Amino acid sequence: MVGKSNRAIIINIAFAMIGVIFIIRLFMLQVIDPSYKYYADSNTQRLLTQYPSRGLIYDRSGNLLVSNQPVYDIMIVPRDVVAFDTLAFSQSTGLPREEIVRMLQEVRTNIRSRKISSFKPSVFYKQLPAEQYAVLQEKMYQFKGFFAQRRIVRKYEYPNAAHVFGYVAEVNESALARDRYYRLGDYTGISGIENTYETFLRGKKGARYIMVDVHGREKGPMRGGRIDTTAVAGKDITLTLDIDLQAYGELLMQNKSGSVVAIEPSTGEILSMISSPGYDPALLVGRERSRNFPVLSNDSLFPLLNRAIMSGYPPGSTFKAVMALVAMQEGVLQTSTIYGCNNGYHARGVHVRCHPHPPSLNLVYSMANSCNAYYCHVFRNVLDNPAHGSPQAGLEKWKEYMLNFGFGNRLGSDFFNENRGFVPGREYYDRIYTGRWGSLTVLSLAIGQGEILTTPIQMANMAAAIANRGYFYTPHVIKNIENDTIPSRFKQRRETGIDSIHFEPVIEGMEQAILANNHITSKNIVYSLQVVSLTDTTWKEDTPPT
């Protein structure tokens, strides 16, 4: 009996304590916590997303390249809308009255199809300019059910480097599924560094909770603003670009189709990246984007194409520098090696033409005069080297050198849509010639023609590797991220597999090609221009060019 009595006491005490806890909690909620005072006067709360400013972008000298400017989304809560003067709304927003009527009808249609809720805010009109919002703000009280949501869009301080920056646009469904940060109507970097460094640039969204009455009037912050969160601005980044050099390069490329890439060899920093024709990055900002993007997309000159990283070109005679280096590393070419040229290369019915120059040349002067015959000899010596056993095995060794130089693969720069280029190998030619082919079959590779394709950034990187006497750093445009570090891969030295001793005669030959004007004829100049202005070639990743 005593034991049962004790248990009853314990149970009663427990129930009493639970009751006391509930009473204290109810007292806190109803008396101490002031938020319920607001609930007594109103029946709606509104969440306003506080969008952060995107990080600023500077060039290597500290010049501001990309900043921000405010715009305003006009939001609507359909159930709160009452009859209003559409003409006054038109005058306040600068929108045609007919457009306003059409958008209101669209809201009704979307409610019926349940695309939007009549109880929750949705976008009525996107990106009203700040100067126009200043006019609307004074009369907003006249339009029940409407309010403004501040947004941030980009402002470009220079009309240059559009392909480097990329652009910002509304997120699509795949982005929403991939990253929980985004909500419908948010904006994200779509291309260029705006895309690559999106997680640094975008910052962190904040939130403001306010109470509104049945007329849509703000009654004050919920809980005195204690549950609000502040937006955190994105991180500023500094690029390796020199904006003056970039602007000058774009000026030189006006009315031309092609690309220019300038790299600092000692670091891999890209000083300029020009793709022509290009466009003013301001064309793809705010509401102007919806009008300008289709125009740019349908332009037959493809101004949206970043030729520096996406277009494939036969490298032409610039490729002879790599051919010489590979041959010297393989031991089949010496600086003193001389080959004759009788208006080109002749072998078993194959003729590769050449332009006029002295008939016999050593390595340095073969580079200075860009002799096709010389490098046909050099290439065949590489493939037919007895050390490899067969031309097929020789080509595989040659391809290995090409890959070490950064050809045939993405270099791993800051740009996600960088193309691989194409370096043919044994398997490729076995499919075409059913295994029956030799060094003469693929002779066009000797002078950078035939099936090989490279991107302009790969060719600029090749020059950087030569300047460094055998190594390079992955080309990149990011120099600094505020309070963070740039990707480590940009500081890793990559070797070409060519001994440094072999570079001096090649560099001397390259210098002679520029400085020895008496060796450059008008035909040389025409040939060089033909190489520069080759038609763009694009290809699918899994399908080599034919």
Number of neighbours of residue 174 by Cβ within 10 angstroms: 8
258-264 vs 344-347, strand pairing mode? unpaired
What percent of the chain is helix, strand and coil (3-state, nearest 5)? 45, 20, 35
Number of neighbours of residue 23 by Cβ within 10 angstroms: 10
Q: Note the pLDDT tens digit of each residue in 187-210.
A: 999 999 999 999 999 999 998 887
pLDDT (0 to 100) of residue 520:
44
pLDDT (0 to 100) of residue 215:
55
pLDDT (0 to 100) of residue 20:
76
Comparison of pLDDT for 13 and 432, the residue scoring more? 432
> Which residues in 213-266 belong to E strands, given as ranges?
218-221, 237-239, 258-264
Tell me the pLDDT of the chain averaged across its residues: 87
Q: Could you give the CA distance from residue 302 to residue 296 in angstroms, rounded to a whole number?
A: 7
Comparison of pLDDT for 22 and 536, the residue scoring more? 22
Q: Note the pLDDT tens digit of each residue in 97-116.
A: 999 999 999 999 998 888 88
What secondary structure does DSSP assign to 101-113, as a single string? HHHHHHHHHHHHT
Q: For residues 329-334, give the mean pLDDT.
A: 96
Tokens representing residue 15 in the block = 């129930």
Q: Note the pLDDT tens digit of each residue in 11-47.
A: 778 777 877 777 777 666 555 555 555 444 445 677 7
The residue type at 147: F
* Long-range contacts, stretch 175-183, CB < 8 angstroms, 24+ apart: 181/205, 183/49
Q: Which domains does the chain have, with CATH numbers?
A: 46-58+68-152+187-233 (3.90.1310.10), 312-473+493-532 (3.40.710.10)
**Of 146, 56, 135, whose CA–CA distance to 100 is shortest?**
146
Residue 215, C-beta contacts closer than 8 angstroms, at least 6 positions apart? 80, 144
Q: Note the pLDDT tens digit of each residue in 502-520.
A: 999 999 999 998 876 544 4
What secondary structure does DSSP assign to 155-201, as a single string? EESSS--HHHH--EEE--HHHHHH-TT--TT-EEE-SHHHHHTHHHH
Q: Could you give the CA distance from residue 478 to residue 278 in angstroms, rounded to a whole number?
A: 21
Comparison of pLDDT for 149 and 235, the residue scoring more? 235
Q: For residues 459-486, give the mean pLDDT.
A: 97
The answer to whether the beta carbons of residues 452 and 422 sit under 8 Å apart is yes
Q: For residues 480-499, give the mean pLDDT.
A: 96
What secondary structure does DSSP assign to 343-363, as a single string? SEEEETTEEEE--S--SEE-H
Per DSSP, the three-state class of 487 is coil
Local confidence band at 534 (pLDDT 50, 70, 90 cut-offs): very low
Q: For residues 76-90, give the mean pLDDT.
A: 90
pLDDT (0 to 100) of residue 315:
94
Local confidence band at 214 (pLDDT 50, 70, 90 cut-offs): low
Q: Could you give the CA distance from residue 11 to residue 17 in angstroms, rounded to a whole number?
A: 10
Percentage of residues of the chain with pLDDT beyond 90: 66
pLDDT (0 to 100) of residue 525:
35
Q: Is 69 exposed, middle or buried (0-12, 13-18, 19+ CB in 10 A)?
A: middle
Comparison of pLDDT for 519 and 372, the residue scoring more? 372
Local confidence band at 221 (pLDDT 50, 70, 90 cut-offs): confident
Number of neighbours of residue 103 by Cβ within 10 angstroms: 14
Tokens representing residue 183 in the block = 């909500």
Q: Could you give the CA distance from residue 203 to residue 254 in angstroms, rounded to a whole number?
A: 36
Helix residue ranges, H only, 410-455 = 426-433
pLDDT (0 to 100) of residue 30:
58
Cα pseudo-dihedral 320, 324, 325, 326, rounded to 10: 100
pLDDT(544) > 80: no
Q: For residues 326-348, give the mean pLDDT.
A: 94
**Of 292, 300, 296, 295, whose CA–CA distance to 257 is shortest?**
300
Comparison of pLDDT for 264 and 174, the residue scoring more? 264
Q: Could you give the CA distance from residue 423 to residue 429 in angstroms, rounded to a whole number?
A: 11
Local confidence band at 65 (pLDDT 50, 70, 90 cut-offs): very high
